[in-house]
Chains A and B, each alone.
Chain A
Amino acid sequence: MIDFAAVEQALSLLFTNFSPWMVVIPGIIIGLIFGATPGLQISMAMAIFLPMTLYMDFVQAMLFLTAIFTGGSFGSGIPAILMNIPGTSSAIATAFDGYPMARQGRHNEALGVALVSSVIGVLMGYLILFVMIQPLSMMVLRLGPSEMFVVILWGMTLIASLKGEQVLKGLIAGFVGLLVGTIGFNELGMARGTMGQTFLLDGVPVIPAMMGMFAASELFKLANKGYIVESEASRKVRIGEIFRGFRLALRYPKVMLRGGLLGVFVGAVPGVGSSVSNLLSYVETQRRDEDPSSFGKGNPKGVVASESANSTSEAGSMATLLALGIPGGGATAVMLAAFAMHNITGGPQFIREQTDVVYAIIFANFAQVFLLVIIGLLFIPLLANIVKVPMRYLIPSVLVLAVMGSFGLTGNMTGPATVLIFAVIGWLFRHYGYSVPAAVIGMLLGAMAEKSLLHSYQISGGNLAYVLERPVTLIIFALLLVSLFGQRLMNWFRRRRQPLDA
């Protein structure tokens, strides 16, 4: 279950010199700032700072990106508690009880509860990942190309259908993304969709495209806002009271454990992740509580439930990324791009051959949480005021970083031009309700999907009956259909039963 030789190598990878750790503190700070700024996303931070990982080795790059992830998951809770504005969708449920606590003058306690729950959540998630990653890779090893193909399609469908009533648009965005991902040379060495441009022979530059779609297009949307929060009384941050919150959080180990387990498993499902896990955990905690009516009025258990779940989701989504090489959302999509930049392909082979690297990433995250406590405490007073920065200063600054970063990636004007084109596409997508994450993940997985399908075709000799001999493929395909039509079918049955019951 645990490869102890790899554990030893991982420890030496991390501790023989200090260099891997140099990037962790800046990573956490970046994550905290982007997480704490409503409108800015963690995936945006990761996309903008991705070019910097060009100068890092793979372990260092992963530590940097996971540090942003970790910092962001706690950072997003700060405005949720202080101003009732979740920094990202993963902290929606944090605001349900965090803000009422703040209104009662208990905002410091709420911040303490959130910080400890986040820290324990990350620890718990990575501990589960540490124990499960080897068995998981063994299971994944049994998946052939046909299974991988339907897993990609299923993941895409889940991500695309997240937006309730706009499922069709989500699917269009995801599938067009997949098509864009196949632009360039095919397996036969012929180039498609390049319009005669040599820079497209290797495909669309995915990272600048991702920067445009995730970051720039979102910033356009925020451009007409004066301040993030127009008016809100400032709340004094007191470290002593935050420590009281630490103790308060530890009184609810069951809530934390439930949130953690929910977070890690929900986080592993592509497209769902922390945005859903915090709400699920909150609802479950409220449902099981002796006094459900106290929720929404400043019950610290609500904050514990939400923050422990959204923090463990990070490890869940990392499990999918490492074991299958498939990103579950925006943040892991950026990590997949970092894998590609370092010529690494995620999947069971990677886990088996580079177990030490996988363990090093996990161990580094154990250490990161302790750094998060210290940096979180130091930065809370600053982060509490970040929403007072005028958007007119924030937006051009981040746009400039994205443009220069993209130039750094391609070494020519292709990068900035790609950012611009995909920023406009992303802006239109957001405006008309198309799923931007589905489109980006489609672009990332297009080539992989084509390769998997081609290998299935070669193995089967073009015989479709081959699929019938692959029960796992059929099961995943059935799951795909259920996630697409399940709810509609249920509604249809309910409607049919109603007249009979009546």
Chain B
Amino acid sequence: MYAKKRDYGDLLVLMALAGFTLWYLMDAIRVSSAIQNLLLILPLSLLVLGIVLLEVVLRLKQGTLLTRPGDEAEPLHRTLPVVGLFAAYVISLETLGFDVATVLFIALFLLMKGERNWLLLIGFSLAFGFGTAFFFAYMLPYPMPMLLLEG
């Protein structure tokens, strides 16, 4: 048997879901307390909060409130750099444009994942990045933010 590692993430996600539900319920009540507005939201929110409470109670009883379910799950921090890179890519789209941001995203991803064949790394990033950006810019009826290519 393995000693289970502490993991607060699971509880945090559960609390975040409960927090969102509570906030949404309050916001809906603030907008209007008419039955037509709350007919689904009120009972459903209470149901969600009830299930969250039940989950917490059951896991407290089992002593698993602060452990990660399933030993096979890969630690979050191993995937975090990829998620961070993707977030940076999306956030930079408006400033760097879809063309340059995409080329950089692919190149950095390949580099991060161990690609050391520079010719392949640069060639694929340029070809795929500019190729898809050009294709979408050509296909879409509205302007796409671009730095080098025409939007």
Contacts and interface: CB of A to CB of B under 8 A. Distances in A.
A371 B76 CA distance: 43
B17 A427 contact: no
A391 B31 CA distance: 47
A18 B50 CA distance: 55
Given A176-B17, A176-B48, A453-B39, A431 B76 contact: yes
Nearest to B45: A179
28 contacts: A166-B69, A172-B14, A175-B51, A176-B48, A179-B24, A186-B37, A220-B82, A392-B115, A396-B105, A396-B110, A397-B106, A399-B86, A399-B105, A400-B105, A403-B90, A405-B136, A407-B98, A408-B140, A411-B142, A413-B93, A416-B90, A427-B83, A428-B9, A428-B13, A431-B9, A432-B10, A432-B68, A449-B40
Contacts of B140: 407-408, 411
Interface of A: 55, 166, 168-169, 171-172, 175-176, 178-179, 182-183, 186-188, 190-193, 216, 220-221, 223-224, 226, 391-393, 395-397, 399-401, 403-405, 407-408, 411, 413, 416-417, 419-420, 423-424, 427-429, 431-434, 449-450, 453-454, 457, 462
Contacts of A55: 139
A400 to B, nearest CB: 5
B12 to A, nearest CB: 9
Nearest to A401: B132
Contact of B39 (A391, A407, A457): A457
Given A172-B17, A404-B132, 4 more contacts: A172-B14, A216-B86, A392-B109, A413-B94
Interface string B1-42: 000000001100110010011001001100110111101110
Contacts of A393: 110, 124
Describe B's contact surface by its main secondary structure. Answer: helix
B40 A424 contact: no
B69 A433 contact: yes
Most buried by A among B17, B28, B76: B17
Nearest to A447: B40
A182 B102 CA distance: 34
B90 to A, nearest CB: 4
Contact of B34 (A172, A188, A449, A450): A188
B4 to A, nearest CB: 14
